[in-house]
Amino acid sequence: MRAGWQCAGFLAGMALFSVNQIQGGEMAADSFYSLKTVTLAGQPADLTQYSGKVSLVVNVASQCGFTPQYAGLEKLHEELKGRGFTVLGFPSNDFGQQEPGTPEEISTFCKKNYGVTFPLFGKLVTKAGPEQSPIYSFLGKTGHLPAWNFGKYVIGKDGHVAGFFPSSVTPDSADLRTAIEDALGH
């Protein structure tokens, strides 16, 4: 029995190591697109697939006063995806514990209420500290971290942050749209 527990402990440790490796990507990343994470469904996701595109990275939550921004984010995604643009949603429970759901609950909520088709990734920590996701550690190098849910980063085709917009800036904001258009080069 003891050997069985040791084996289970070893396998659990290896699984955590693998998930941390997938979520962690390269700690000294020089491009957002060099990072790795997991999808909301728990599958490995290499952000390299978005290299050469402009992305809008948003820390999302289902029970926030800003949650209706999902509709505008989806509209923006649909409108501009043919031009090399995508919205990337990263659920986080950091602010007011407004994203307590399971991955399945988050996915169902987003599809049912807002028709979300843009990619959603595994829940992560945005706040600075030992548990912070490498994704937000990279984004935080700009000197900006979200102060609440629905903080937005425009990521250029080269994987560098081209702009940061706080939660109060809506997806249809002229300033946000200008930053996205500038990054698209149009």
Question: 73: domain range?
Answer: 2-184
Residue with tokens 């699984």: 15
Active site residues: 113
Residue with tokens 């912070």: 132
Rounded to two decimals, the pTM is 0.85
**For residue range 130-180, what is the model confidence (pLDDT) as tens digits?**
999 999 999 999 999 999 999 999 999 999 999 999 999 999 999 999 999
Number of domains in the chain: 1
HSE value, Cβ hemisphere, 13 Å, CA-based, for 16: 5
What is the domain-level CATH number for residue 28?
3.40.30.10
Determine the Cα–Cα distance for residues 181 and 111; give it in Å rounded to an integer: 27
* 167, β-bridge pairs: none
